[in-house]
């Protein structure tokens, strides 16, 4: 169910396995959306970065090392629904994080991937952009399967990239 409401928060919980730092703003949210639950802190994530409007966190099913997602905090289903302003804020975060992932992991390239609708293999109905580091010959298919990641490895790469974020 989509509603506008203030996100709750528990200030006792901190850092990587804990809920994201919350904020008191009124925002559009969907109580059944997994990414909204990440925003509110009801579902944990390996968070790399957060600002007023967006967050970046590690994909739970990484197609390659350093596979990161950037989302707007507000719930908008896809590129058609999101406002140009919020899209711009999301893309600014994508650029910031792509630069630091590139600096940290030195991949051979990075794909930015963004899916809208079933035919495009959108599996989470909350606008998001993938930052996907690539290696020559990695044979990653852009419609990758969802294979659970090694959470120690995901946490480790999150910490490595985070250390290079500008203050």
Task: Return the residue nearest ligand DGP (CB atom).
Answer: 60
Contact assessment for residue 110 and residue 161, using Cβ atoms and an 8 Å cutoff = no
79 makes contact with ligand DGP (CB under 6 A) = no
Residue 71: beta bridge partners? 55
- Minimum CB separation of residue 114 from ligand DGP in Å reads 7
Residues 94 to 123 in contact with ligand DGP, rule: CB under 6 A: 115, 121-123
Q: Site for ligand DGP (CB under 6 A): how many residues?
A: 15
CB of 100 to ligand DGP, least distance (A): 18
Binds ligand DGP (CB under 6 A): choice among 56, 59, 86, 107? 59
- Shortest Å distance, C-beta 76 to ligand DGP: 14
Residue 30 binding ligand DGP, by CB under 6 A: no
Nearer CB in complex with ligand DGP: 22/24: 22
Residue with Cβ nearer ligand DGP (19 or 24): 19
Sequence-distant (6+) residues with CB within 8 A of 130 are 59, 67, 68, 69, 111, 112, 113, 114
Selected catalytic residue, list 67, 126, 128, 130 = 128
Tell whether residue 34 is a contact of ligand DGP (CB under 6 A): yes
Residue 128 a catalytic site member = yes
The residues binding ligand DGP (CB under 6 A) are 34, 43, 45, 57-61, 69, 115, 121-124, 146
């Amino acid at each position: 169910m989509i509603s506008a409401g203030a996100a709750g928060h528990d200030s006792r919980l901190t850092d990587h396995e804990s809920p994201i730092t919350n904020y008191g703003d009124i925002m559009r949210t969907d109580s059944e959306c997994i990414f909204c639950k990440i925003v509110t802190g009801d579902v944990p994530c390996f968070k790399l970065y957060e600002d007023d409007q967006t967050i970046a966190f590690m994909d739970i099913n990484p197609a390659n090392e350093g596979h990161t997602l950037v989302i707007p905090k507000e719930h908008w289903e896809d590129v058609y629904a999101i406002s140009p302003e919020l899209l711009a804020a999301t893309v600014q975060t994508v650029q910031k994080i792509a630069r630091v992932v590139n600096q940290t992991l030195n991949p051979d390239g990075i794909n930015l991937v963004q899916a809208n609708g079933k035919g495009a293999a959108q599996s989470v109905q909350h606008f998001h952009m993938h930052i996907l580091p690539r290696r020559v010959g990695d044979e990653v298919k852009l419609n990758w399967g969802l294979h659970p990641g090694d959470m120690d490895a995901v946490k480790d790469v999150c910490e490595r990239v985070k250390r290079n974020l500008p203050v």
